[in-house]
Structure 1
Amino acid sequence: MENGHGGVRQLRYLPAVGSVHGVEVIDFAALRRMDTQRRRVLPQRPDFHVLALIASGTGGHEADFHGYRLAEGSVVWIRPGMVHRWSDVDSCDGPLVLFRPGFLAGLGAAEAAAAACWRLDRQRLPLALLAAEHLGREHEATARDPRLGSPALLSHLLAALILRALPEAPARADAPPAGEGGAHVFRAYRAAVEERFTEWHHVAEYARALGYDVRTLTRATRAATGTGAKTFLDQRILLEAKRLLAHTDLPVTGCARRLGFRDAGNFSTFFRRQAGTPPAAWRAAYGTADAPGT
């Protein structure tokens, strides 16, 4: 683990002995045993996925400036780069699945667009827990005897767990049918945005690079997320801006440069338009670092 700016811990994936395939299964009791200093309640930024199911108990979790109450049936999906903290999981029980970003290839549009936290009903929760238990047993068998290990098997079991645990997406009358082609387009766009959002601020730049027109990207993104391609891109830039302002000591001019804005004025205008407040006011309200306002 490495310390980041402003007290945010940068968590690196360090697999336990026997977890050689990029996935492992623990539970909240193990998390508490490993974290006797309660560092879990402080902001942290992992470079891996954490998928957690709450089988029993209540608690709290915060992810990228949103607070969530946890109870039986809650599902938490922490993505790489997300700033989060377990604000209260002392009474929670259930599995946590840790896996590398590249372990589960080809995430679909629904998986990519899922929220950080949602709730499963009493019919679906036992099935999700059963899927997690199956994955956990295979992981334990691999740890005991690597000859029993199969990355393909673990990957399929993880994919089955995620599909079982995903929230039910409400049907939208205005949403065009995505189809597999639309899902593929959105996955490509989302990956390109994640790679280039600090350089490219216009959908047309992604359209040229990916070989689609802007309308195709907009349709695919709206079908997957309910918002257009431009809104999706702006929200990704805004999220990183909020993270930088709240969790680093970079001045506003430095945040602007980090995110590819030509000057602090353009950045401030963008931030105020998207967030409804100036960058300095956001930092004053949410900042965890002693940082200058300009």
Structure 2
Amino acid sequence: MQSAITQVKFKAGLPLEIEIISIADTVAKHRDTITIPHRAEFYHIFWVQKGIAEYLIDFEPVKVKGPSFLFVNKDRVQAIDTRSRHDGKLLLFTDNFFGKTAEDAMYLHSTILFNDLLDIPVISVASSPSLQVIFNAIEAELTKDNDVYHYQLLHNLLHNLLLLAERERRKQGFKEIAKGPDLDYTILFRDLLAAHFKTLKSVSGYASRMNISEKRLTNATSKTMGKSPKTIIDERVMLEAKRLLTHTHLSIKEIGYDLGFEEPTNFIKYFRKHTEKTPIEFRAACLHR
């Protein structure tokens, strides 16, 4: 295990923070990094062209049968199972590339491809050749010089790829959450939770920051996700606890302190309440799978 979950930064030295690489080449060159759980600071669009790919994304096994696209948001902990025989291409890009305007940043922040509250998007492209055409057009443009048109063309092509993928996702059984105040409050709560879950664990604290009542927040998350705010808070804390227990060799005390528990016994009680195992028992079970 590592002392911390590996943080992967975008490749330095490129004229723009977007690139397309071969999945097979990436596995061959970076096997030591991508086969262990890591957290990337950029967005992934996997185009699995043949075979069946197996990925682990935040403890959720995801199987992708080619030809399909898989969309993975930045900062999720992921790993590739190299035993799965597959190949294809991988498009990587950053907020800095796509989100130069407030409108573009908001789009990335809300698109169902990277912000699905209920699932990890996998889209079959066998019946959608236009997605493949645009992906290939991005790859072709990346081979050209960085002239005055280069950025805008790449940006527009990527935006069109995402929009077409959203359309296709909705055709393939996406469970739409009705737009409105409930969804808006849920997204705002999710964003606050991502930033403060280590230090703020009370529903009242989040409701106060959102200037709404606890009851209103509970109604919002119950309608959109079928869960109470307290359940969502606990799930986020437990996800990070499991990440650190499984993928680092930090001590139980260090992990508890990192997650905002001043006393190790409080963290142990909290963890056991939600898993029926102590942190040590959970870590041991993971190591002996």
TM-score, length-normalised on structure 2?
A: 0.79
- Between the aligned residues of both structures, percent identity stands at 23
* Counterpart among 7, 14, 17 of residue 17 in structure 1: 14
Structure 1, residues 122-178: CA drift from partner, whole Å, max 9, x if none?
435x4443443344344444xx2331122752562353255246463247xxxxx63
CA contact 1:25–1:96 (8 Å) conserved in 2: yes
Paired residue type of 2:156: L
Counterpart of 2:62 (choices 46, 53, 68) is 68
Instruction: Name the counterpart of 2:220.
Output: 220
Alpha carbons of structure 1 residues 252 and 139: separation in structure 2 relative to 1, 3 Å? same
Aligned residues: 274
Give the Cα separation in 1 of the matches to 2:218 and 2:134. Answer: 35
Distance 2:203 2:111 in 1: 18
Report the counterpart of residue 124 of structure 2 in structure 1. Answer: 120
Change (3 A) 1:139 1:212: farther
Q: Which residue identity lines up with residue 276 of structure 1 in the other structure?
A: E
Post-superposition CA distance 1:189-246 (Å, at most 9, x none): 1111110000110122111112222233334334443433222221111100001111
Q: 1:27 aligns with which of 5, 19, 22?
A: 22
CA RMSD, Structure 1 to Structure 2 (Å):
3.1
SS class of match (1:265) = helix
Any residues of structure 2 matched to 1:235-254 within 5 Å, and which? 235-254=235-254
AA aligned to 2:205 is: E
- Structure 2: unaligned runs, 5 residues or longer: 100-104
Aligned to 1:146: 147
Letter in 1 for 2:110: G
Q: Which residue of 1 aligns with 2:110?
A: 108
- Distance change in 2, residues 1:39/1:200 (3 Å): closer
**1:166-205 maps to which residues of 2 (within 5 A)?**
166=169, 168-170=173-175, 178-205=178-205
* CA–CA distance in structure 2, aligned partners of residues 123 and 16 of structure 1: 37
1:79, distance to aligned residue in structure 2 (A): 3.0
* Change in CA separation of 1:232 and 1:91 when aligned onto 2, cut-off 3 Å: same
Shift in alpha-carbon separation, 1:154–1:189, aligned structure 2, 3 A: farther
Task: Indicate the larger mover: 96-105 or 204-213.
Answer: 96-105
Amino acid at match of 2:261: F
> Do the aligned partners of residues 246 and 210 (structure 1) sit closer, same or farther apart at CA in structure 2, a change above 3 Å counting?
same
Instruction: Say if 1:70 and 1:5 are closer, same or farther in 2 by CA, change over 3 A.
Output: same
CA distance in 1: counterparts of 2:141 and 2:183, whole angstroms: 30
| Distance change (3 Å), C-alpha of 1:117 and 1:156 | closer
Task: Give 3-state SS (helix, strand or coil) of 1:53's partner.
Answer: strand
Is the partner of 1:199 in helix, strand or coil?
coil
Q: Which amino acid aligns with 1:40?
A: I
Give the direction of change, closer, same or farther, for the CA distance of 1:249–1:33 in structure 2 (3 Å limit): closer
